Amino acid sequence: MATDRSKKIASIVAVASLAMLGTCTYVMIKRVQRFHTENPRTVFAFQPVDQRAFSFAGKQVSLTDDKSNPSDPKLLVNFGGEQLTLDVAIPGRYELPDLKSHQDWLKVVRFMPKSGFTEEQFHEQLNLGKDRLAIVTRTPPEGVDPSTWGSVWKTAWIFDFYELKPAGGFEHKTLRYPTTRGIATPKEGELQENTWEFQAALQLMPNAGKTGPTHNFYGDALAAAGISLPMAAFSGLAAAVGIAFAFAPRKRTT
pLDDT for 212 equals: 60
Dihedral of alpha carbons 20, 22, 26, 31, sign: positive
- Can you give the pTM of this predicted structure? 0.69
The confidence score (pLDDT) of residue 208 equals 47
Rounded distance between C-alpha atoms, residue 230 and residue 133, angstroms: 44
Do 236 and 17 touch, CB atoms closer than 8 A? yes
Q: Give the C-alpha separation, 178 to 215, whole Å.
A: 10
Give residue 211's pLDDT. 54
Sign of CA dihedral 90, 92, 97, 103: negative
pLDDT of residue 106: 93
**What pLDDT is attached to residue 70?**
84
pLDDT at 86: 94
Domain ranges within the chain, ordered by starting residue: 4-37+222-246, 42-216
Question: Tens-digit pLDDT profile for the chain (254 aa)?
Answer: 456 777 677 777 778 877 887 887 877 777 776 766 666 677 888 889 999 999 998 899 999 999 888 888 999 999 999 999 999 988 877 777 889 889 889 999 999 887 767 777 777 777 777 789 999 999 988 877 666 766 667 888 999 999 999 999 999 999 998 887 666 677 888 988 888 999 999 888 876 445 566 555 555 666 666 677 777 777 777 777 777 766 767 655 55
Under a CB-based contact definition with an 8 Å cutoff, are residues 24 and 235 in contact?
A: yes
